[in-house]
């Protein structure tokens, strides 16, 4: 069998199984049954000595792996701020896989480079960031944060006359780290990778909604890296970004905005009031696979200073052939990567700015409706719903955890755990474009029924 014939057979099989899966996806459980999970054992065993035909491999995946998937393609999965996958993103991903293009350099794929260049221009415009802002496409917001913090660190050190690429960490001047006490764990992880210790952070108190209090910030200077949030991971609240930027920039500090899901508030005229002054920051990070529903995996880093991010992240070698076009690897940590621009371009072309705004608004409207219906059902909503996030709790941590465990076992909907002000909560994230008010009604009924049964 020729390579082309085998690929065509595999594509036909993948198409057949994908169609079958998609037809059932809206009605699939939000979490798989114990039986489906047990079926995964059929994929285990000794290391294969002989191969299996590719089409048979796909049949095995369909028979045993697909039933154990979580229902991210339903409108009833409310865990981990997990987005769905828009039709244009799904189709573009199929093409992207068939094309097998490397998105690193123009010379490696003119099509990938052009699509990412256009997507950069369009998304920067949709988010209202400064014209000319650089965008790097990576695996997720943790990597995006890493790119931004590396850029900020290098920039702040160069302002002090120190080139870390030449001299290394030993003897480097201090870079002060100022951030919200509510900062996301992904930021902390990235900070440790770029050389910051947890004890170095100057934590700024937050208000009752989890928003940084600008008046509580320490005196800043030109050595400071200030971190703020567009969307608290629990309550969804937004730091006063513009106010923080004004204070920081007077002192010569760098401001980074962690906006994994909340940065997309800027894409909606109705939601943009959440992020006044967003454009004043120096760098931003977010996930496209969350609110934008691009499918996994796609994170984005933005930097207003194109030269700064390129200087911090560019690798040089004789075999690398840079062009006078946009070479995407200049703005990321990766030389070899998926052609993310194919999917990003397809989403924006498919929905347009108005369609993206409507998708964001629908998520927010459904979140508000969710909170209202839960309160009508007598369930405690911890904070007013914000953007696409809300939290609920019950009489005690034990009861809250028991309700959550039963919700997760039900398979009808799925939510995750968290802590707020030291108390156990159930976190609900409305992140799928396909979630409807009917899905919310189903979720409220399930939560109410389970809570009533446990409280008796």
Q: Quote the DSSP letter at residue 55.
A: H
Question: Is residue 62 domain-shared with residue 105, that is, in the same domain?
Answer: no
What pLDDT, on a 0 to 100 scale, did the predictor assign at position 317?
A: 83
Q: Is there a single domain that holds both residue 286 and residue 202?
A: yes
**CATH assignment of the domain containing 307:** 3.40.640.10
What pLDDT is stored for residue 456 in this prediction?
67
| Tokens matching residue 292 | 């934008």
pLDDT single digits (tens) 390-446: 999 999 999 999 999 999 999 999 999 999 999 999 999 999 999 999 999 999 999
Binned at pLDDT 50, 70 and 90, residue 189 comes out as: confident
Does residue 262 carry a pLDDT above 60? Answer: yes
Residue 181 lies in a domain: yes
Q: Is residue 259 pLDDT above 90, yes or no?
A: yes
Torsion sign across C-alpha atoms 303, 304, 310, 311: negative
Question: Is 232 found in the same domain as 337?
Answer: yes
Question: What H or E segment, with its residue span, contains residue 7?
Answer: helix 3-25
Summarize the confidence of residues 151-171 as an average pLDDT: 95
* pLDDT at 44 > cutoff 90: yes
Q: How far apart are CA 150 and CA 3, in angstroms?
A: 43
Pick the range with the lowest mean pLDDT from 99-103, 187-191, 251-255.
187-191
Same-domain pairing of 364 and 433: yes
In a domain, 131, yes or no: yes
Q: What angle do CA 349, 353, 356 make, to 5 degrees?
A: 90
Both 372 and 330 in one domain: the answer is: no
Confidence of residue 248 (pLDDT cuts 50, 70, 90): very high
Residue 412 sits in a domain whose CATH number is 3.90.1150.10
Instruction: Check whether residue 144 and residue 229 sit in a common domain.
Output: yes
Whether 81 is covered by a domain: the verdict is no
What total number of domains does the chain contain?
Answer: 3
Strands (E), 222-264: 224-229, 254-258
Which of 85-89, 186-190, 347-351 has the lowest average pLDDT? 186-190
Give yes or no for residue 255 having a pLDDT over 80: yes
Q: What is the mean pLDDT of residues 230-238?
A: 96
What range defines the domain where residue 181 resides? 92-348
Same-domain pairing of 277 and 419: no
- Best CA proximity match to 182, nearest among 160, 157, 212, 223: 212
pLDDT at 188: 84
Kindly state whether residues 111 and 218 are assigned to the same domain.
yes
Contacts of 164 (CB under 8 A, 6+ apart): 153, 154, 157, 172
**pLDDT higher than 60, residue 1:** no
The residues facing 168 across adjacent strands are none
Are residue 234 and residue 121 in the same domain, yes or no?
A: yes
User: Using CA atoms, how far apart are residues 449 and 15, in angstroms rounded to an integer?
Assistant: 39
Both 310 and 378 in one domain: the answer is no
In a domain, 75, yes or no: no
Residue 73 has pLDDT above 60, yes or no: yes
Say if residue 445 is in the same domain as residue 336.
Answer: no
Domain assignment present for residue 87? The answer is no
Give the residue ranges of DSSP H helices in 179-297.
Answer: 185-193, 241-250
334 with 397, same domain: the answer is no
Q: Could you tell me if residue 126 is inside a domain?
A: yes
């Amino acid at each position: 069998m020729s390579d082309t014939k085998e690929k065509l057979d595999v594509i036909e099989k993948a198409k057949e199984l994908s169609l079958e899966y998609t037809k059932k996806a809206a009605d699939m459980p939000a979490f798989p049954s114990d039986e489906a999970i047990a079926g995964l054992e059929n994929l285990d065993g000794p290391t294969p000595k002989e191969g299996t035909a590719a089409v048979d491999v796909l049949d095995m995946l369909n028979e045993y792996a697909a039933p154990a998937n979580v229902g991210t393609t339903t409108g009833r999965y409310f865990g981990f701020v997990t987005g769905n996958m828009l039709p244009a993103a799904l189709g573009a991903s199929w093409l992207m896989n068939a094309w097998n293009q490397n998105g690193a350099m123009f010379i490696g794929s003119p099509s990938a480079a052009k699509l990412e260049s256009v997507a950069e221009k369009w998304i920067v415009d949709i988010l209202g960031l400064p014209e000319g802002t650089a965008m790097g496409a990576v695996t997720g917001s943790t990597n995006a944060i890493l790119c931004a913090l590396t850029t900020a660190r290098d920039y702040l050190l160069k302002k002090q006359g120190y080139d870390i690429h030449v001299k290394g960490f030993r003897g480097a001047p201090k870079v002060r780290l100022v951030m919200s006490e509510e900062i996301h764990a992904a930021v902390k992880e990235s900070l440790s990778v770029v050389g910051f210790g947890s004890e170095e952070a100057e934590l700024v108190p937050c208000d009752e909604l989890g928003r940084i209090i600008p008046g509580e910030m320490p005196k800043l200077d030109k050595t400071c890296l200030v971190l703020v949030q567009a969307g608290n991971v629990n309550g969804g609240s937004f730091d006063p970004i513009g106010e923080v930027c004004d204070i920081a920039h007077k002192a010569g500090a760098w401001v980074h905005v962690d906006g994994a899901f909340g940065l997309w508030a800027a894409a909606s005229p109705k939601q943009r009031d959440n992020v006044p002054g967003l454009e004043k920051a120096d760098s931003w990070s977010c996930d496209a696979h969350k609110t934008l529903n691009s499918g996994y995996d796609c994170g984005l880093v933005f930097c207003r200073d194109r030269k700064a991010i390129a200087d911090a992240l560019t690798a040089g070698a004789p075999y690398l052939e840079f062009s006078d076009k946009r070479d995407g690897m200049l703005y990321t940590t990766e030389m070899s990567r998926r052609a993310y621009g194919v999917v990003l371009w397809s989403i924006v072309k498919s929905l347009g700015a108005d369609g993206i705004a409507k998708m964001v608004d629908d998520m927010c409207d459904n979140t508000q409706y969710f909170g209202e219906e839960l309160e009508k059902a007598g369930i405690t909503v911890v904070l007013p719903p914000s953007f696409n996030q809300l939290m609920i709790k019950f009489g005690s941590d034990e009861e809250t955890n028991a309700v959550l465990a039963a919700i997760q076992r039900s398979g009808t909907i799925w939510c995750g755990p968290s802590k707020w002000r030291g108390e156990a909560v159930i976190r609900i994230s409305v992140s799928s474009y396909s979630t409807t008010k009917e899905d919310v009604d189903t979720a409220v009924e399930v939560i109410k029924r389970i809570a009533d049964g446990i409280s008796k």
